[in-house]
Chains A and B, each alone.
Chain A
């Protein structure tokens, strides 16, 4: 019974990580930027919703507000920073370091505005409600995390394969130079992609925040697990990244039943390094896509 509960809890956390993973992968595969500031946007989303709901806004509106702010901040970041660097043909290393800087700015801005304290969504009345599904106990925010994450996965995949904009994005990501010639205006597309990713990543951030609590500096570990999932799943495969995220989180939880919890993070990364040695292309992709 313990194992089953651990498995389900792990799967729920894994879905949240999965959204971080697929949105990171969406940005990375399209723009080529190793966007570590994504962790900062994850932090920001939860705090915006916390503040809005504290102002008396109903929760759905607070959630939408967080998504909107996330999307706007992401778009500005792409337009003002990454685009400038790309046009100057800055190396991936330079872009990565700029992204690290943006992460520091976002996290500390949040700490400055909302204090570095651990915050709970006191204004959300249902945050502690529980549901029993057979022998499994889940909190209402956990169920929302699960449902919203799966919806985002499905939505992003459908958007990417079925809509004109989605197809245009894929065209740009597969060949930027060609896209430029064929007037697909890659830089406009990048802004849209980063905005979508930054808005969506606010959703799991808010639900996890409601379910547990928030701190400005903890999102880096979430992003790292997500990035590992992206690489292990194969860059370019959204469902792959999502599935690996869930598997990783479940493994982390199950390992806990077998050995002391303090080694579980080390275990995950050991697994990753071994994995990278054996199958560097990822499980769901055969072609090794190098960063430009």
Chain B
């Protein structure tokens, strides 16, 4: 049943990524198509640290902290601006990150990537097998989801929602909006770092192509289909989107038509959701 397990594991990892995106896109309304870049930083940080022999908790912490810091730094320019300018800044960050993954080959292994990333063992049990690793990803998702829910219910979370609805009012109420936004960027970054580290462990191999722009777009699509700004939406979306190729694999199509037809289906899905149900399956109005 590894086929089913690997589907669930990847969906859980992407659910963490969708939550990371949700903080920005859903909660404070910052558009982002550079989540995959951050995920990549987390994955590479974990891989390099783990390959150097650092224990699992240290390597994971390193990935989380690095991503949090980087997300704050890269968000700074966009936080000073509004509207669609983000899209481009975000696109830029994504492309630069990919160029760095490819060309900083002393650290990242360049296009050949890093192979043989070790999976941690807990209480003498290796998580190399999907049936063991799924415990790790499930616990991680539960922790991430709990964190998201608690944060949204706190007074801090309510102020964040207020920023999206009326930024000026929040400023008028004497709150430091920039600091609030930077705070949530750090949290979003740490989530992405967690997702990236888990991804690196699961595949035992990473390379720049796993963190390209289309992955960022896929994460965004997952969030949108599931429904932005809700916890359940971030979890439903990845499970649905990752199941599409699995189902299409069960249907016999003429071989040369399989690929473009599936990508076409993604496109149709995106347009259809925006036209018919822009709030996604479980979400609220975008």
Contacts and interface: CB of A to CB of B under 8 A. Distances in A.
- Direct chain A–B contact by Cβ atoms under 8 Å: yes
A97 to B, nearest CB: 5
Interface in A1-36: 28, 34
Interface residues of A, number: 46
B80 to A, nearest CB: 7
Nearest to A228: B88
A98 interface: yes
Interface in A242-278: 262-263, 265-266, 269-270, 272-273, 276-277
Interface of B: 25, 29, 31, 77, 80-85, 87-89, 91-93, 95-96, 99-100, 102-103, 213, 217, 220-221, 224, 256-257, 259-261, 263-264, 266-272, 274-275, 278, 285-286
Contacts of A123: none
Given A96-B31, A291-B83, A108 B275 contact: no
Nearest to B257: A112
A102 interface: yes
B271 A266 contact: no
A26 to B, nearest CB: 15
A174 interface: no
Interface of A: 28, 34, 81, 84-85, 90-98, 100-109, 111-112, 115-116, 220, 224, 227-228, 231, 262-263, 265-266, 269-270, 272-273, 276-277, 280, 290-291
Contacts of B268: 101, 105
Given A94-B286, A273-B93, A266 B100 contact: yes
B267 A108 contact: yes
B107 to A, nearest CB: 16
A201 to B, nearest CB: 18
A98 B91 contact: no
B77 A276 contact: yes
B88 A94 contact: no
A272 B274 contact: no
A97 B220 contact: yes
Sorted nearest first, the 5 A-B pairs with minimum C-beta distance are A101-B270, A104-B267, A291-B83, A105-B267, A98-B274
B271 A98 contact: yes
Nearest to B225: A97
27 contacts: A34-B87, A90-B278, A90-B286, A91-B286, A92-B83, A93-B31, A93-B286, A97-B224, A98-B274, A98-B275, A100-B221, A101-B269, A101-B272, A103-B267, A104-B270, A106-B267, A111-B260, A224-B91, A224-B95, A270-B96, A272-B88, A272-B89, A272-B92, A273-B92, A276-B88, A280-B80, A291-B82
B165 to A, nearest CB: 12
B264 A108 contact: yes
A266 B99 contact: yes
A13 to B, nearest CB: 18
A285 to B, nearest CB: 13
A128 B29 CA distance: 50
A92 B84 contact: yes
Contact of A265 (B25, B81, B95, B220): B95
Contacts of B286: 90-91, 93-94
A152 to B, nearest CB: 23
A269 B213 CA distance: 14
A280 B264 contact: no
Contacts of A291: 82-84
Nearest to B82: A290
A280 B85 contact: yes
Given A34-B87, A101-B270, A84 B275 contact: yes
Nearest to B213: A220
Contact of A262 (B82, B89, B103, B256): B103
Contacts of B272: 101
Contacts of B213: 220
Contact of A90 (B29, B96, B267, B274): B274
A94 B223 CA distance: 12
Contacts of B100: 266
B85 A231 contact: yes
Given A263-B99, A263-B103, A291-B83, A101 B267 contact: yes
